[in-house]
Structure 1
Amino acid sequence: MMKLRQVLILSLIAGRTMAQSPADYVNPFIGASTSVGAAGIYHGLGKTFPGATTPFGMVQVSPNTITGGDNGSGYSYEHTSIEGFAFTQMSGIGWNGDLGNFLVMPTLGPLKTSKDAYRSDYVKSTEKAAAGFYAVEFNNHIQAEMTATPHSGLLRFTFPANKQSRIQIDLARRVGGTSTKQYIKVVNDSTIMGWMQCPPEGGGWGDGEGHADYTVYFYAVFSKPLRNYGVWSADIPDSWSRKLEDVTSERYLAQVAKAQVLPQLREKEGKHLGFYTEFDTKAGEQVLMKTGISFVSMAGAENNLHKEITNWNFEGVRTRAHSSWDQALSKIKISGGTAGEKKVFYTALYHTMIDPRIVEDVDGKYTGGDGKVHSGGTFHKRSIFSGWDVFRSQMPLQTIINPSLTNDLVNSLVTLAKEKNKDYLERWELLNAYSGCMIGNPAVSVITDAYAKGIRKYDVKEAYRLSVNSQKRFGNSELGYTPGDLSIAYTLEYAYTDWCVGQLAGWLHEKYAADGGAYKNIFDTEKGWFRPKNKDGQWQPWPAEGRLKQWYGCIEANPYQQGWFVPQDVNGMVTLMGGRDKVVKDLEDFFDKTPENMMWNDYYNHANEPVHHVPFLFNRLNKPWLTQKWTRAICRRAYHDGVEGLVGNEDVGQMSAWYVLAAAGIHPVCPGDTRQEITSPVFDKVVIGNFTIKATNNSPENIYIQSARLNGKPYNQCHIDYKDIVKGGVLELVMGPSPNEQWGITK
């Protein structure tokens, strides 16, 4: 009996040990490729980074394999060598990217100052990534490990026996360009501090066209005393341009390769600086470096580090990072599904919790759009708002699981307009830059959706005023549409945000003339579809490919894809298109012709955002079983547990947020309207806060909802309101292998 009891106790202990937490399922390599070849399109694949970070943290310590090209994350899995490990990264973006600052590299032998000379091949099989951790071993037997806190990073290098081991830091490095001026100071025998200025003249976001202009401050401490150290300084002529093409040219790299090396120099300001510290090492000797980062000041960077990493306990910091992810990811708990599906789900949720990131210091100070230091006070300053992408799924998801983040973002955008003396809201914000990237007025959508859901801890009147001004400045013209080569995309987007402002106006008892109906002004009844129109009212020539012509009136899409974007008036859109039966047939054709792998294509192109609401239109067309069919198909065919697990750019959380919501069984068609469409969950049970979605008899075959109950009562609607989700309750779905064409139908 005693032995049996001991066996039972050991079994229970083993069970607890084997149980996986949400963070254990995270695979940061999902989407970590910029490969154009694998994607079959110049956009590349997911463009995520595999390095260590914390939920919405300011620091991302990650390997960088490339500076040039359209490689926004600075990393691509198929590359065989690493330039170094940077402390700031962007996730899932194109347009050349930015950040990738403070590039740290362990090296051996003679000092080399050009990244193409000091980059090192690595052993692919040793590369490991987890939530809050990354590790790799180079061919020269140096092992690198890294972890992070919100404002700081910790690197641990294990060296072989060598008389000339080194840690070197490229202060000029920047994804998509270069920092144009740097400063370095040796504080004492273990510490350095300094800054890197990154203006548009140094490329970066949009190769300078994105107007990114920021300064990164650092405060770094080494575990091994600084004895043999120095600075290298490349002489960059004043006449040289420093955009991306220039700094990746052979001429520029040759200039950096012959940089002047200044041993024992304690302080330096220059145009292209680096720092190194050399030491001899025994086999297996570990040297650590911890660094605080700030966008405010060197003192801020120092304070950030001292508050977050007080010792050299690498495993302790790693454990805290992992725990922070467990806590954040536990906002949604899932049961059922395969191990692979759990990995896809929690990695997707992980990717939705990188941006909009905190950019204030631990004391609440941040640099505003006016270049002055501010304190958020009632909100946390956030940055990286990929508006055109994230208003569709990412921000609606955050209104459910992180409403305070939504408040932070709206406050950050509204106060930024005042700081920059602008009378409108930015559509793609990066570190206070009004980049003007992409189209539409997505911040208006986010504000409207927040207000509709009772998220209102910001200056509502100012948010409304800026929304109105955004539409006046950029919205559809007095013609009732936006003319030109992107006429369809602009007109439909602005019609939607007209509706958003109209909703705000009604709630605030204001007057706003437009009602969101401008989309009708570019519908050609002869062709039966939307068509770009010129300023003189004439249609642009209809192409031989018809509505399948990429970029015909559209941005990164064709009219067949972009034309479904009338979320504010689906009934009106259906009437224009010829009625429900015709639209359903057209939509079924749209999906049926989509390639099995769902990579970039002319039909349902999940790799790009304009179609992300389209599967849920079947709910609005009284065919909810088709929404169930196609969302399950997209979850299965477009998301995988692997490097090529995303069919398109992650786009700062949008691609992943779509999966999180759809796999949970809900998704909006129209942000600003609190209606959430119900679809077929991937998992048997999903718990979001106090709201539970149960799917009985769920399986890869049983994808159709047979019946439903909400809080114990029969429920025959294919949608649910946001307020019912956040107040808590239970939505029970009974699943089966064939459609129930009676459930969810509006009589």
Structure 2
Amino acid sequence: MDTINPPAIIFVYMKKILVCLFSLVAIFIGLPVMVSAQLAVAKAGGQQVSFPTKYPADYVNPFIGASTNIAKAGAAHGLGKTFPGAATPFGMVQVSPNTITGGDNGSGYSYEHEYIEGFAFTQMSGIGWYGDLGNLLTTPTTGPLQIIAGRHASLGKGYRSHYDKKSETANAGFYAAFLTDYGIRAEATAAPHSGMLRFTYPASQQSRIQMDLARRVGGTATEEFIRVSGKDAINGWIKCTPDGGGWGNGDGKADYTVFYYVRFSKPLKNYGAWSAAIPGKQSRKLEDISSIHYDSLVMGATITRHFQEEKGKHLGFYTEFATTEGEEVLMKVGISFVSIENARQNLEKEIPEWDFNQVRKNARDLWNKELSKMKISGGTADQRTIFYTALYHSMIDPRNTTDINGQYMGGDHRVHQSARFVKRSVFSGWDVFRSEFPLQTILNPTVVNDMINSLVTLADESNEQYLERWEFLNAYSGCMIGNPAIVVITDAWNKGIRNFDLAKAYQFARHTEEKFGNGASGFKIPSNDISATLEYAFSEWCMAQLADSLNKKEDALKYLELSKSYLHVFDTAKGWFRPRKEDGSWRPWPAEGRLKQDYGTVESNPYQQGWFIPFDVPALANLLGGPDKMVADLNDFFEKTPKSFTWNNYYNHANEPVHHVPFLFNKLGVPWLTQKWARIVCENAYSNTVEGLVGNDDVGQMSAWYVLAASGLYTVCPGDNRFEICSPVFDEIIINGGKSAYAPGKPFRIVARNNSPANKYIQSAKLNGHVYNKCWLTYQDIIAGGELELEMGSQPMKTWGVEETNR
């Protein structure tokens, strides 16, 4: 019999009390709830006291999707196109490595590239169309000054550097890599309006930090200004216009100015600027600035030492200093889209000291707070990483473009002040109305409300009087099709998210439909009439719902009738959708039939686009010969999809038009097929790898799809408040967006009992303790808080969730 040690017994009880107290305090003050694993944090009586320490942020792998590789994607669109650098939730600043200038590399980074050109303070995530931002490119170097990146071997090495892939590290709010050409370790972290770099140098008499102020993803800045301010600071601005390419290689009409304020931990003693004389007639689009001719022009730049101010068409800055082995040199940057003074205030408020580790911790804490709005258990470690990384990617945009003092740059290129909402930008409407914004109505309804205010005030300030479908820093880029802003507004209004100017929102929504809707012809011609007609029909249905909610009966009837325009592009002889000529006759039917890519469609084929009547699935089933025939065709659609789920002619998860399709089975009376195929897509189209997103993340849409589907929920038709129930990947999911003007802040818990890869079928369900036989929930069910219990099994339960109204 063991001897009882009284001190040991006391310690055990003290340990239990401490754990309980810690948990209660965490719940009371709202600390992020930790997921699993343990780490010692204190010692008592010679033994370690352990608390759970695996926070949601610890699961984030920013390398998921961080590639533009076309070969691995199997399509010209490439892979996820995310960036691995440091960011904060919905923040203005992203400090990330840039590996390339040129090509359709919207994030400025691709994992397989061998060089890092530098670290920029603004990035776009998951987008194609050449991209933009990538401003304030900063590179630590040693040795002779190089003022071009070095992309053309005949012109010399340049300032870019090889880097050690094994040293490359990224997590929520942090990035690091070792630049082998210079022997420098580079680390990056971020705050909402500012960022910080820490460089660890070798011993050198000629160490340096240099900034290519003209550099821009997808093109070049067209004019820059720099001023030396005191012994350790510079400030200025970078003007980016369509003449310099950028968003859509200029076609996106991006026209913005980044104001910056930079401080260095070493005083400015040996510093200078280079200014290249770019001829006035020289084109500065992407294909020009990435050419050997353009780099040759830059190499002829004038270098001015110890200047006070410089302005030009292609500027760079450097500061040189001696370093000892292992010496750390830091720089911190505040940015603003309003003014230099605001950039300074943003920096001094957020990063007043030189404590890199504290800034990194602050960023991680911000991510833990946001990511803890969803708590999961079960699944594999990889699945938890995929989930929290997807949630992370869904919270990069729409980003805050309002400064700390409440000022923002408006659509009239004037400074505005707002205490009512946060001005936000990067609205990838055609993509994000499907999953990203429905997810945020649950987790971050204030962000949704902000984005609506931002779109409405933009329409007002710019005097455009309509709602842009793909907004980027006040630009009306006109990218893609449809009227997604109307969808987002209708969805928000019907969910009670209503703190915006409704009169103006409705006025601009009407103008938008009149400008871009189906109109009297009932279909859009000549080139994309299937996709455009169906997309506009959906936004017209949303307009009808919004008008009905506002008791505008005449408008409601008008737009409800227009929403039936999809009938004009349905060929009863072919039994499918078909594009028309301008005279209304059918375009020739191709040999590939409905599998023909771009046959009256956008980034899809008629087979993929034709399922998009989310607001009237029974009517679609009727067109296709009844629910049974539609189910058979849908099932065949999935059966013929390659297991890799890369770009293909069937269920092409790599692009948005089909994202709602797995959940149509719920509305056709066969919910077990939604459970089957949604789970299969989760398991096969996502992975914890660089290639883990089979297509562009598109500003969080691809990631938001996974978050919802893996949680057992998805919305087919934003605007009707219905979330389809599917097969959760995890055993338990707790959703709590917190208390706000739009939600009481009560948790909603989804429990999947006996869950496993084999047990993907729902056998029975209870909602708040009562038997539940619907295959859907309402938005109000979720935000009110409660519990959905699902009993899982290996075989379909064909009586659960089947209602006559589903068919």
Q: TM-score, normalised by structure 1?
A: 0.99
1:419-568 mapped onto 2 (5 Å cutoff): 419-510=461-552, 511-512=554-555, 513-515=558-560, 516-568=563-615
Whole-Å separation in 1 of the counterparts to 2:784 and 2:299: 61
SS class of match (1:735)? strand
SS class of match (2:187)? strand
1:304-703 mapped onto 2 (5 Å cutoff): 304-510=346-552, 511-512=554-555, 513-515=558-560, 516-689=563-736, 690-703=747-760
Cα-to-partner distance string for 1:28-51 (whole Å, 9 max, x where unaligned): 000000011111111000000000
Aligned match of 2:258? 216
Whole-Å separation in 2 of the counterparts to 1:345 and 1:482: 39
Which segment drifts farther, 470-479 or 384-393? 470-479
Whole-Å separation in 1 of the counterparts to 2:532 and 2:160: 44
Aligned match of 1:718? 775
Aligned match of 1:225? 267
1:176–1:203: 8 Å Cα contact kept in structure 2?
A: yes
Whole-Å separation in 2 of the counterparts to 1:101 and 1:618: 46
Residue 708 (1) aligns with residue 749 (2): no
Aligned match of 1:155? 197
* CA drift at 1:481: 1.3
Whole-Å separation in 2 of the counterparts to 1:4 and 1:543: 81
1:156-171 mapped onto 2 (5 Å cutoff): 156-171=198-213
Whole-Å separation in 1 of the counterparts to 2:720 and 2:799: 25
Structure 1 gaps, min length 5: none
Whole-Å separation in 2 of the counterparts to 1:477 and 1:464: 18
* CA drift at 1:484: 1.1
Cα-to-partner distance string for 1:219-276 (whole Å, 9 max, x where unaligned): 0000001100000111111110111111111100111123111111121000100000
Whole-Å separation in 2 of the counterparts to 1:430 and 1:11: 43
Aligned match of 1:60? 94
SS class of match (2:228)? strand
SS class of match (2:559)? coil
* CA drift at 1:288: 0.3
Whole-Å separation in 1 of the counterparts to 2:395 and 2:140: 30
Q: 1:280 aligns with which of 310, 322, 327?
A: 322
1:23–1:326: 8 Å Cα contact kept in structure 2?
A: yes
Whole-Å separation in 2 of the counterparts to 1:732 and 1:636: 22
SS class of match (1:568)? coil
2:39–2:51: 8 Å Cα contact kept in structure 1?
A: no
Aligned match of 2:25? none
Q: TM-score, normalised by structure 2?
A: 0.92
CA RMSD of aligned residues (A): 1.2
SS class of match (1:188)? coil
Whole-Å separation in 2 of the counterparts to 1:180 and 1:350: 33
Change (3 A) 1:299 1:12: closer
Aligned match of 1:257? 299
SS class of match (2:54)? coil
Change (3 A) 1:595 1:500: same
SS class of match (2:197)? strand
Whole-Å separation in 1 of the counterparts to 2:370 and 2:510: 35
Change (3 A) 1:15 1:629: farther
Q: 1:733 aligns with which of 782, 790, 799?
A: 790
1:113–1:258: 8 Å Cα contact kept in structure 2?
A: no
Whole-Å separation in 2 of the counterparts to 1:686 and 1:257: 57
Which segment drifts farther, 478-487 or 394-403? 478-487
* CA drift at 1:535: 2.4
Change (3 A) 1:460 1:615: same
Aligned match of 1:29? 63
Identity across aligned pairs (percent)? 61
Aligned match of 1:134? 175
* CA drift at 1:17: 5.5
Whole-Å separation in 1 of the counterparts to 2:146 and 2:772: 68
Residue 197 (1) aligns with residue 244 (2): no
* CA drift at 1:533: 1.1
2:64–2:691: 8 Å Cα contact kept in structure 1?
A: yes
SS class of match (2:449)? helix
Whole-Å separation in 1 of the counterparts to 2:453 and 2:132: 24
Whole-Å separation in 2 of the counterparts to 1:578 and 1:305: 62
1:629–1:703: 8 Å Cα contact kept in structure 2?
A: yes
1:635–1:659: 8 Å Cα contact kept in structure 2?
A: yes
Letter in 2 for 1:715: Y
Whole-Å separation in 2 of the counterparts to 1:445 and 1:553: 23
Which segment drifts farther, 236-245 or 3-12? 3-12
2:455–2:467: 8 Å Cα contact kept in structure 1?
A: yes
Whole-Å separation in 1 of the counterparts to 2:58 and 2:256: 35
SS class of match (1:122)? strand
Whole-Å separation in 1 of the counterparts to 2:503 and 2:411: 21
Whole-Å separation in 1 of the counterparts to 2:316 and 2:12: 59
Letter in 1 for 2:167: T
Letter in 1 for 2:474: N
Whole-Å separation in 1 of the counterparts to 2:267 and 2:604: 56
1:34–1:46: 8 Å Cα contact kept in structure 2?
A: yes
Letter in 2 for 1:429: E
SS class of match (1:708)? strand
Aligned match of 1:122? 163
Cα-to-partner distance string for 1:499-526 (whole Å, 9 max, x where unaligned): 0000111111112212111111110000
Letter in 2 for 1:313: D
Letter in 2 for 1:420: S
* CA drift at 1:19: 2.9
SS class of match (2:751)? strand
Letter in 2 for 1:717: K
Aligned match of 2:801? 744
1:230–1:266: 8 Å Cα contact kept in structure 2?
A: no
Aligned match of 1:19? 53
Residue 289 (1) aligns with residue 295 (2): no
Whole-Å separation in 2 of the counterparts to 1:59 and 1:149: 7
1:72–1:90: 8 Å Cα contact kept in structure 2?
A: yes
2:39–2:53: 8 Å Cα contact kept in structure 1?
A: no
Letter in 1 for 2:162: D
Letter in 2 for 1:514: Y
Whole-Å separation in 2 of the counterparts to 1:222 and 1:744: 62
* CA drift at 1:477: 2.8
2:95–2:122: 8 Å Cα contact kept in structure 1?
A: yes
Whole-Å separation in 1 of the counterparts to 2:50 and 2:461: 52
SS class of match (1:489)? helix
Cα-to-partner distance string for 1:696-744 (whole Å, 9 max, x where unaligned): 0001110000000000000000001110100111000000000000000
Whole-Å separation in 2 of the counterparts to 1:650 and 1:680: 23
Change (3 A) 1:458 1:11: closer
* CA drift at 1:11: 8.6
Whole-Å separation in 2 of the counterparts to 1:430 and 1:488: 27
Whole-Å separation in 2 of the counterparts to 1:252 and 1:703: 57
Whole-Å separation in 1 of the counterparts to 2:305 and 2:12: 64
Q: 1:41 aligns with which of 75, 81, 95?
A: 75
